[in-house]
Amino acid sequence: MNKNIILHCQQLIKRYDQGGLNVDVLKGVDLEIRVGERVAIMGASGSGKSTLLHLLGGLEKATSGEVILEGVNINQVSGAKLAKLRNKSLGFIYQSHHLLGEFTVLENVAMPLLIAGETVKQARVRAIELLKRVGLGHRIEHKPGELSGGERQRAAVARALINKPSLILADEPTGNLDSKTADQVYQLMLELNQELQVSFLVVTHDHELAARMGKVLHMEDGLIVG
């Protein structure tokens, strides 16, 4: 195994039954993400970007093809083992923050660590440290509903990072933000990429933001075309 490669996939195919018709939404995707790399994925609506991220993150199974995450073929593990691998190696950020409304920002960010078996005290210390880093040190006891859109996405970035993952998968993480706020969240991701050597794979429709990543891939009709 090449230690520089965190995640790769080969000939990834995803077939859905759409009203009795079998449609290949991914038609054989090859991709590789290296340590510290920043990759943007662009492409028209429906080209398969979110589907690809779901497969790479082990949230859905491929129809065929392989996803290798830190040397492990994720199609060959399931249940608790897959959840553990995902929890250890990956962080996720979505277009909508997916924070739990009834918990504080601190509790939301600490939660993945608690699930991973860390003590409450340790989880709290690390969550506060990260919340300070993303500029939310003064908001830790607030509920997500009391934050601005940009603050919520920064909290989501902190939550994605708390398990010290090797790779963050982000699906239009700034899609709901105005361009200035989107820019700030990108800036934060770039800084964290440098500081923590965490890799990013980010789906975006924004050319300017994509250009700030190290590499831009284009998807068309279920394939990466360059």
Alpha-carbon gap, residue 34 to 169, rounded angstroms: 13
Distance separating alpha carbons of residues 88 and 163, to the nearest angstrom: 6
Residue from 6, 7, 50, 147 binding Mg ion (CB under 5 A): 50
Under the binding rule (CB under 6 A), the answer on residue 89 touching ligand ATP is no
Nearer to ligand ATP, 19 or 117 (CB): 19
Count other C-beta atoms under 10 Å from residue 57's C-beta. 21
The nearest distance, CB 136 to ligand ATP, in angstroms, is 27
Q: Centre a 10 Å sphere on the Cβ of residue 135 and count the other Cβ atoms it contains.
A: 14
CB of 220 to Mg ion, least distance (A): 14
Stretch of residues binding Mg ion (CB under 5 A), selected from 30-38, 44-52, 144-152, 162-170: 44-52
Q: Which amino acid is at 44?
A: A
Identify which of residues 51 and 166 has a Cβ nearer to ligand ATP in the complex: 51
| Residue 138 CB neighbours (<10 A) | 9
CA-wise closest residue to 145 among 182, 102, 196, 178? 102
Q: Which stretch binds Mg ion (CB under 5 A): 29-37, 42-50, 60-68, 191-199?
A: 42-50
Q: Report how far apart the first and last C-alpha atoms of the chain are (Å, whole number).
A: 25
Q: In the complex with ligand ATP, which residue's Cβ is closer, 51 or 108?
A: 51
Instruction: Tell the smallest beta-carbon distance from residue 78 to ligand ATP (Å).
Output: 19
Q: Is 43 in the site for ligand ATP (CB under 6 A)?
A: yes
CB of 206 to ligand ATP, least distance (A): 12
Q: Identify whether the C-beta of residue 49 lies closer than 8 Å to the C-beta of residue 173.
A: no
Residue 50 or 153: which CB sits closer to Mg ion? 50
Whether the CB-CB separation of 122 and 154 falls below 8 Å is answered with no
Q: Where do contacts with Mg ion occur on this chain (CB under 5 A)?
A: 50
